[in-house]
Amino acid sequence: MRPSRRSVLAGVVVTGLALLPTTALAQRVLSMATLAPHGSLPMRALDAMNRELRRRTGAQLSFRWYVGGVQGDESEVVRKIRSGRLDGGALSATGLAQIYRPVLAFQLPAVFRSPDGFLRAFTALRPELEAGFERAGFTILNLSPATGPRMFSTREIRTPGDLRAARPWRWTDDSILPALYAETGATGVPLALPEVLGALQTRRIDTVFAPPAAAIALQWSAHVRYMSERPTSGSLASLVLSRAAAQSLTPAQRATITDVIAQATTVFRPAFVRADGDAVRALESRGVRAVVLTEPQRQQWIEVFARVRSRVSATLPDPRWLARVQAAGRE
């Protein structure tokens, strides 16, 4: 019996697909979300990373970035990654804590005596952190230290009592600010990050927390007059994928992403190192003054920060974790 014309055509199509290069069949676009706005230094780094990834793979592997919080705040992004609506994202320590809560220890105020202590602890405990994220169903593509936040305000805040009289923003995703406000008696105004600019403009809030470069990129700095003289904590940032998305990639694709991220990190590291100092100088040139505390004022904050650490560390799965982090920083 002669084969029908339709069956012949179907056979040709199947044969043709079988002869296509395997890289064509493996084409993948990873959907990723970030709060970073267009034009910011983090977004420029992510865009450069994507261009290089497309170049190396002949456009067979790439990121599709949803920028500026269009996919929601970080807790919403984490939920979407878990449900498979997103493949991954660029998260701050606040978002990372939604996945693996022990990461909060690196963002608690005054945990380390110096930035070097932060780096020592991070280097020593990084393998444990990454393993914790894997157990939670996420693969870390890159985990690195980030600039810690400063307090920005329309008023001069020198003591915990001054904060109590302010109208500070409370990030709805954050686990540390509620503890800080509880210990100072302040009443935080809960807002998602994209709502903060409007709240500053309408004076619903008068105090925010952010790294200096972020305060400029998010346009918050145009609505404040004062900033704390230094960050009170370190921070972390990361590129993450759901474990399912990571496992859907071929070994060659995973290796290429790793190489591209490592290259971008090396290229952009000097710019990120300079960014904090450049941002502080830019803010000062615009009239934002750093508040320099007296020793008695600083001591008041030290006592408050100790109570905040105790309050938050009690909520961690392992109550000894904070002590381990501090010990690693001292060593």
Residue 169 lies in a domain: yes
φ, ψ for residue 157, nearest 5 deg: -105, 110
Residue 50 lies in a domain: yes
How much is the pTM?
A: 0.87
Per-residue model confidence as pLDDT tens digits over 252-271: 999 999 999 999 999 999 99
- What pLDDT does residue 26 have? 53
- Domain interval for residue 178: 27-330
| CATH at residue 189 | 3.40.190.170
Query: How far apart are the C-alpha atoms of 163 and 156, rounded to whole Å?
Result: 9
Q: What is the strand order of the sheet 226-228 is part of?
A: 207-210, 150-153, 226-228, 289-291
Question: Which residue in the block uniquely carries the two structure tokens 């109590």?
Answer: 164
Residue 6 lies in a domain: no
Query: How far apart are the C-alpha atoms of 203 and 167, rounded to whole Å?
Result: 9
Coil, helix or strand for 162?
A: helix
Mean pLDDT along residues 154-159: 98
User: Parallel, antiparallel, or unpaired for β 226-228 and 289-291?
Assistant: parallel
Please report which helix (H) or strand (E) contains residue 15, including its range.
helix 5-19
Tokens of 168: 């500070």
Residue 4 lies in a domain: no
Residue 10 lies in a domain: no
Among 19-28, 62-71, 321-330, the range scoring the smallest mean pLDDT is 19-28
Count of structural domains, the chain: 1
Residue 12 lies in a domain: no
Residue 7 lies in a domain: no
Residues 6+ apart with CB under 8 A from 304: 160, 180, 183, 184
Per-residue model confidence as pLDDT tens digits over 182-227: 999 999 999 999 999 999 999 999 999 999 999 999 999 999 999 9
Residue 1 lies in a domain: no
3: pLDDT strictly greater than 80:
no
Query: How far apart are the C-alpha atoms of 238 and 8, rounded to whole Å?
Result: 51
